[in-house]
Amino acid sequence: MRCSAILGVLLVATSVRAAFAGDAQNRDDKAERGPRVVIGSKSFTESVVLGETLVHLVDAAGGEPQHRAELGGTQILWQALLAGEIDAYVEYTGTLTQEIFQDEPIEGVDEMRSALEARGVRMTEPLGFDNNYAMGMAEDRAEELGIRTISDLADHAELRMGLSDEFMERQDGWPGLVRKYDLPQTRIRGMEHNIAYRGLDKGALDVMDLYSTDAEIAYYHIRVLDDDRGYFPVYRSVVLYRADLEERAPQAVAALQRLEGAIDNRAMIEMNGRAKIDRVPEIVVAAEFLHDNVDESIVVPEVSWTYNLKRAVWRFLTNTRQHLLLVVISLAGAIAVAVPLGIVAYKVPRIGQVILNTVGVIQTLPSLALLVFMIPLLGLGAWPAIVALFLYSLLPIVRNTYTGLKEIPPHIHESALSLGLPAGARLRLIELPMASRSILAGIKTAGVINVGTATIGALIGAGGYGQPILTGIRLDNVPLILQGAIPAAVLAILVQGLFGVVENRLVPLGLRTG
């Protein structure tokens, strides 16, 4: 009954998604389209807005654009570009020299273009604005302590730092800043960039890293500290695109180049503010800018309550379908592999320790790192997320299968042997039924873990309930976060209930919990 309901949801979600997809993006569906061009963007508002500008330009040039938005950080986008999973995205020159080519002495634009060309990538001229790293404090707190430069931070070891995770690890981030300014702070927290702004505003943090075009700098009255020792490089915005795009879709490349020199710092800050502070959809913000400054023929989508409702329904059904597929496929694969592994671990003790240790090590791998490692092998989207979920599901199922079989009382084995049952029959008729409660408990644990962990898949374009959660965090939009968090929690409860029903059907009556 419950399985039928899940299948029904999948079918309804698929059909409604197909019906609403065109309207949700509010773009005309033309009979004949040019080559497909996949645009990527990072998981911060400016990148998403710029991704939408590229999508509008490609669409206006007759291409068939697709926007894979909010794909995590720099390395995910860069690896996706090299692997051909995306065709173009907006990057920054400082990031190229300090992060992507950190092991190569790149000096000047010509050397940068040569390094990119060697990897099959090309770069437009700068778009017109710089988005530089900076350090900031709440204006009143900075005034209270008399802090105006980054050097001044060295006299205040007690300050609480809230730094974005990527900034904490980058060569042009916190490690180098500490060396350059001899900073003594130890109260450092890694956190999502948008959350740090709220922490600064509420007084829970003292200092955070900034992007110089953040609209929140003015909104939250942040003092940008002077980089008095010139540590941060210049981050000029450019579009990176695959070299083969010039052959596959020359009109798309020409469209991307129309953005060169078109966006100054003021315009970018205003667009960020429209999207982040005023909560205007990025697709509208991008279209408004292009219509007013680049191409009057680009139509600005009309946002009405019916549009918003249709978009919300489409988003929910799409996310439900994607999340269910991630969980169902990965869990089914894990069951098919882990139960036999658990049996082998029980039957052959020497091999068993190797199996248990291996799945234990897999469980300790950071999920985001595992997803990034898989991009060159499996690309973006659902499959790397499914494989990661599959790997994380192995430990509870293998361990519970092994434990359930090992805890069968010795006299049961002796009785089976005295009856003359062969090994296969003993396993099928006695051992697995006796261990079924433990095995199902492991599968249930894996299923619940999968439902939660699958939300991380949104960072590599797998969709699911993680998508509204990531977008809601980025936009400081609690209702949007709840659109992902509540369905994920409900799905986890349904998974538990489903396996409760399965337990009542499969576990022998004397072994049931109730």
205-217 pLDDT, tens digit each: 999 999 999 999 9
pLDDT at 110 over 50: yes
pLDDT of residue 1: 40
Domain locations in the chain? 27-130+235-301, 133-224, 311-511
pLDDT at 186 over 80: yes
pLDDT of residue 153: 96
Summarize the confidence of residues 19-44 as an average pLDDT. Answer: 63
pLDDT of residue 426: 78
417-446 pLDDT, tens digit each: 767 667 777 777 788 888 888 899 899 999
pLDDT of residue 195: 87
Per-residue pLDDT band at 258 (split at 50, 70, 90): very high
347-389 pLDDT, tens digit each: 888 898 899 999 999 888 887 778 777 777 887 788 889 999 9
Beta strands in 54-116 (DSSP E): 64-68, 88-92
* Pairing assessment for the beta strands 207-211 and 161-164 based on DSSP bridges: parallel
Helix 282-293 × helix 265-276 angle, to 10°: 150
Tell me how far apart the alpha carbons of residues 169 and 181 are, in angstroms, rounded to a whole number: 17
Tokens standing for 401? 């299968």
Instruction: Give CATH for domain 27-130+235-301.
Output: 3.40.190.10
pLDDT at 480 over 90: no
Does this chain's domain 27-130+235-301 share its CATH topology with 133-224? yes
H or E element in which residue 186 lies:
none
Summarize the confidence of residues 217-231 as an average pLDDT. Answer: 94
pLDDT at 243 over 90: yes
291-301 pLDDT, tens digit each: 999 988 898 88
133-224 maps to CATH 3.40.190.10: no
Per-residue pLDDT band at 8 (split at 50, 70, 90): very low
Average pLDDT, the chain: 86
Q: What SS3 class is residue 389?
A: helix
CATH architecture of 311-511: Orthogonal Bundle (1.10)
